A and B are shown apart, each in its own frame.
Chain A
């Protein structure tokens, strides 16, 4: 090996290490910075009260409740549709035009930026269907957004279920639906749950699609009745409130406080998908 080659190789290796270190340093930097800046804001009152000039409190309880309601409504509709779609693609459909079109549509959906979903949600659910700025409008918009995520993860999980399970069940006299319900879905459960958790993560972090669909109200619903009416009313999630705090309201303490809460949620979600995929199939990536 010539000397110049050796130097060149060393230099390349150095750059490779440098670039890899960059991602790690960046992540550590972001987490440290957010926690240092926001740690003092986050306390029990911040999490359980609503920002009010009269009472002199600063809090994000309303936004937490809104986020939870949006997650609940979105997932309760998107999960069955996503799983159903994956089952159809993997278990029923024969390769052909229909399957290609559905798969292409799913792929396209996952490539559409959230601001476009936001525009569509505002035009269609908000204006055409007359739902206005409401949590329901936001949730319906998000369903379209997380659908590909659930479908794809379920499909991957179904692919790992050995064919012998299917033929075994069928040859024992089970109907296809019975086989899917009792054999396939339980076997694919870790993959399905991973998809669901990833979708929840996507909802928690989403902002552009919600700004013009779910609005930005931050009051807590009053009692059970208020909670039941909440879906028809405007409600800002954590990310929306953080965006507003950092821009129009100029309240950076609250913004960093919310950032801490968001980061903790992201860390928990990341950890739980890791545990699940680790249990389930080591080689599989998102």
Chain B
């Protein structure tokens, strides 16, 4: 009998240790990001680092301004959300309100597979297909402008399009489940009052599913902010103002492309770039947590 009690106790403790590992992991990641990323703010100077526009880490008088890098991440993320969310929301409307069983399962299957495709494949296709298209567009826009630095199509626009595509599955699956959770009597009441199906969808169902859809949008923002490899392959490699036809670096691609060879202070600044990204992600996570709580409360 005593042996059994010991086994029970041990099992409980082991399970608890397993569960606590997640807390431990988050704490140590946070700690390390701050430990490695924060000291540089003092060395370089907060305003010089965050608001400096010149990135020249290997120059004789090195300069570590990451303002354009931060802006590129922010602009890229918001622009891709602006494109991805309407497409995703309409697809979600199709899946939950319109599609029959067969057509619905085809679209749903496609969306699930899109979510599973590795980001390097998106990057590769972006390089081979999207960049040449963008180059054509660039030539027709800046054809006679000699002051424009041609990027061969590896620019902000390509990055935005690839990001918009990559956040689609997230937006679609979260929005679809929140639209499906809207009770049917709301739909029936609206239809009975004489509203058309489209009016019902856009004025009754979508507003009712608002908080769930917002969760999807926030998740999409997080995904777009954190995407590294695909963007690194399509966005070119120079630190620039985030204009559509400029080659840009985002927070993530900055780390990917320079961590391999960076030394000394340059390397430490890259950790600070990581810290800035981490803080952005933590803000997104916090908003998500609030949104979820509110969703449960309703």
- The interface stretch among B14-22, B64-72, B239-247 is B14-22
Q: What is the 8 Å Cβ interface bit string for chain B, positions 1-35, against chain A (1 contact, 0 not)?
A: 00010011001101111111111011011001100
Q: How far is the CA of A111 from the CA of B285 in the complex (A)?
A: 7
- The interface stretch among B46-54, B138-146, B271-279 is B271-279
The smallest beta-carbon distance between A252 and chain B, in angstroms, is 7
Tally of B interface residues using CB under 8 Å = 85
Residues of A with C-beta under 8 A to B125: 30, 33-34
Task: Name which residue of chain B comes closest to A116, CB basis.
Answer: B278
Residues of B with C-beta under 8 A to A255: 124
- The interface stretch among A6-14, A160-168, A186-194, A220-228 is A6-14
Indicate if A71 sits at the interface (CB-CB under 8 A): no
Interface contact A9-B29, CB-CB below 8 Å = no
Interface contact A107-B289, CB-CB below 8 Å = yes
Indicate if B113 sits at the interface (CB-CB under 8 A): yes
Q: How far is the CA of A115 from the CA of B173 in the complex (A)?
A: 24
The smallest beta-carbon distance between B23 and chain A, in angstroms, is 4
Q: How far is the CA of A184 from the CA of B227 in the complex (A)?
A: 37
Interface contact A88-B16, CB-CB below 8 Å = yes
Indicate if B235 sits at the interface (CB-CB under 8 A): no
Q: A111-B281, A111-B285, A208-B256 are in contact. Are A177 and B11 (CB under 8 A)?
A: yes
Q: A12: which of B7, B165, B202, B284 is its contact (CB, 8 Å)?
A: B202
Interface contact A109-B116, CB-CB below 8 Å = no
Residues of A with C-beta under 8 A to B285: 107-108, 111
Indicate if B87 sits at the interface (CB-CB under 8 A): yes
Q: Name B's interface SS.
A: helix
Cβ < 8 Å to A, chain B residues 113-128: 113-114, 116-121, 123-125, 127-128
Q: A105: which of B4, B23, B110, B260 is its contact (CB, 8 Å)?
A: B23
Residues of B with C-beta under 8 A to A47: none
Interface contact B274-A259, CB-CB below 8 Å = no
Indicate if A142 sits at the interface (CB-CB under 8 A): no
Indicate if A106 sits at the interface (CB-CB under 8 A): yes
Indicate if B191 sits at the interface (CB-CB under 8 A): no
Q: How far is the CA of A207 from the CA of B123 in the complex (A)?
A: 12
Interface contact A80-B18, CB-CB below 8 Å = yes
Q: How far is the CA of A9 from the CA of B203 in the complex (A)?
A: 13
Q: A269-B116, A270-B116 are in contact. Are A124 and B168 (CB under 8 A)?
A: no
The smallest beta-carbon distance between A85 and chain B, in angstroms, is 4
Q: A9-B197, A102-B20, A243-B123 are in contact. Are A15 and B106 (CB under 8 A)?
A: no
The smallest beta-carbon distance between A174 and chain B, in angstroms, is 10
Q: What is the 8 Å Cβ interface bit string for chain A, positions 250-262, against chain B (1 contact, 0 not)?
A: 0010011001001
Interface contact A116-B226, CB-CB below 8 Å = yes
Residues of B with C-beta under 8 A to A201: 116
Q: What is the 8 Å Cβ interface bit string for chain B, positions 80-112, against chain A (1 contact, 0 not)?
A: 000000111011011100110000001101111
Indicate if A135 sits at the interface (CB-CB under 8 A): no
Q: How far is the CA of A280 from the CA of B173 in the complex (A)?
A: 20
Please classify how large the interface on chain A is, using the bins under 10, 10 to 19, 20 to 34, 35 or more.
35 or more
Interface contact A1-B110, CB-CB below 8 Å = no
Cβ < 8 Å to B, chain A residues 15-36: 15-20, 22-24, 26-28, 30, 33-34
Residues of B with C-beta under 8 A to A262: 118, 120-121
Task: Name which residue of chain A comes closest to B114, CB basis.
Answer: A27
Q: How far is the CA of A213 from the CA of B280 in the complex (A)?
A: 23
Indicate if A81 sits at the interface (CB-CB under 8 A): yes
Indicate if A137 sits at the interface (CB-CB under 8 A): no
Q: A85-B21, A88-B15 are in contact. Are A20 and B233 (CB under 8 A)?
A: no
The smallest beta-carbon distance between A234 and chain B, in angstroms, is 13
Interface contact B121-A259, CB-CB below 8 Å = yes
Indicate if B172 sits at the interface (CB-CB under 8 A): yes
Interface contact B29-A120, CB-CB below 8 Å = yes
Residues of B with C-beta under 8 A to A88: 12, 15-16, 18-19
Q: B229: which of A9, A108, A207 is its contact (CB, 8 Å)?
A: A207
Indicate if A130 sits at the interface (CB-CB under 8 A): no
List 11 A-B pairs, Cβ < 8 Å: A16-B98, A81-B18, A84-B14, A108-B282, A111-B285, A116-B29, A119-B255, A120-B29, A175-B4, A242-B120, A266-B118
Q: Which 3 A-B pairs have the closest CB atoms?
A: A113-B226, A84-B18, A205-B118
Q: Given contacts A26-B110, A88-B15, A266-B117, could you give 12 more A-B pairs where the C-beta distance is less than 8 Å?
A: A9-B196, A85-B21, A87-B18, A113-B252, A116-B226, A124-B28, A177-B8, A205-B120, A207-B118, A207-B120, A207-B229, A243-B120
